[in-house]
Structure 1
Amino acid sequence: MKLAKLLPIALAAALAAPAFAQNAGDIVQRDVNQQKRIEAGLQSGALTTREVSKLEREEARIDRAEANALRDGKLNAQERSRITRMENRASRDIAAESHDNQTGNPNSASSRRMQADVARNIRQETRIENGIKDGSLTNREAGRLERGESRIDAREAVAGRDNHVGAREQRRIQRAENRESQRIRHERHDRQHRG
């Protein structure tokens, strides 16, 4: 009798875990897509370094919201809705900044530095997404890694706010990216896996 009552509950819990994984994977996939759009805007000259700085500040807030939402290992409907609204706003901002009258020089040293940093963001967010999808990252681990990505985005925002990313600023960002890359590798290869 008790087993008959517990079976539906256990089945519901087992089915809910992949739904949480899918939701977390979806929000990280959206991060990857937004970063790709930013990178494309830099490469085409549609975005200036200063515009990318503003967009990276917005991406930092989104990553922080994701980290907070995943802190308990779950992504509830309210958290997902809030993050989706933030991502939609960021998407509109990317489109608006890409289609305004300001143009950047994609071949300038500053733009190339920012392009390299954004490309690294894409790779690291993709590694986090893959870890969620293949189960090598738990939601909590993904949340901690998103907090690290938030810090990197914030550094990029500060570096580009004067429309110039210097070599020294880029080295600091790259050191932070290297530390985050090591964290991603460690978290994906530890003994914690999604059930």
Structure 2
Amino acid sequence: MKTKFIPLLLAGLLTCSAFAQSVSTDVQRNVNQQTRIEDGLKTGQLTTKEVGKLEREQAAIAREEHNALKDGKLSAGEKAKIDRMQNKASADIHAEKNDGRVGNPNSVSSKRMQADVQRNVNQQQRVENGIKSGELTNHEVAKLEKGQARVDHKEAVAAKNGHIGEAEQRNIQHAENHQSKKIHKEKTDEQVRG
């Protein structure tokens, strides 16, 4: 009995580890893409309006990650769909950065968006660290990705016309503050990755 149990236990642990690695990889791609968007704003390769379109796409990816993880599992089909969405988003970031349109990285709107996107990077890194440390379960990651989708959507709506006003940024910051508190709460509760 013991000889059959040990291989099954090891297989289960390896599956959990591979699953955690897969979720962590998806979140790391989110971090990378948000970093590329922020870099494009800082260099003027991206306009605020272009970032609005890219953030709409990031919101869709976060919603898909939420839907895929809310049952606590990530199937091969769900992973493949997220990978396709992330590959398209990556290509779209590259295309927008190289389309010849130039943004003003020193404009008020660009500075506001740069700050918001930097916060996306920071918060996604906190989620990734929580996955790697075992502080976050897949259910918790699903909740957090739903919240990130809301933040990304607010950024997309605010930047749709290429200008982000003070009130729009306050609205985004409110959502980001809420998301930050949720990340802290989920990382410090009693649930841990099994």
TM superposition score category, shorter chain reference:
over 0.9
* Alignment deviations for residues 10-59 of structure 1 (CA, whole Å, 9 cap, x no partner): 22112111111000000000000000000000000000011000000000
* Alignment deviations for residues 97-122 of structure 1 (CA, whole Å, 9 cap, x no partner): 00012111000000000000000000
* Alignment deviations for residues 158-186 of structure 1 (CA, whole Å, 9 cap, x no partner): 00000000010000100110011000000
* Aligned twin of 1:109: 108
Could you tell me how far apart the structure 1 residues matched to 2:147 and 2:182 are? 9
Could you tell me the percent identity over the aligned residues? 57
Q: Is 1:130 the equivalent of 2:164?
A: no
* Matched positions, count: 194
Q: Is 1:121 the equivalent of 2:112?
A: no
* Aligned twin of 2:88: 89
* Aligned twin of 1:26: 25
Residue identity opposite 1:62 in structure 2: I
1:156 counterpart SS class? helix
Per the TM alignment, residue 5 of structure 1 is displaced from its structure 2 partner at its CA by 3.5
Q: Is 1:43 the equivalent of 2:12?
A: no
2:105 counterpart SS class? coil
Aligned-CA RMSD value: 0.9
2:172 counterpart SS class? helix
Could you tell me how far apart the structure 2 residues matched to 1:161 and 1:96 are? 18
Per the TM alignment, residue 75 of structure 1 is displaced from its structure 2 partner at its CA by 1.2
2:190 counterpart SS class? coil
Deviates more, 1:68-77 or 1:184-193: 68-77
Q: Is 1:11 the equivalent of 2:4?
A: no
TM (norm. structure 1) is 0.97
Unpaired runs of 5+ in structure 2? none
Residue identity opposite 1:34 in structure 2: Q
Unpaired runs of 5+ in structure 1? none
Moved over 2 A (4+): 3-11
Q: Is 1:149 the equivalent of 2:152?
A: no
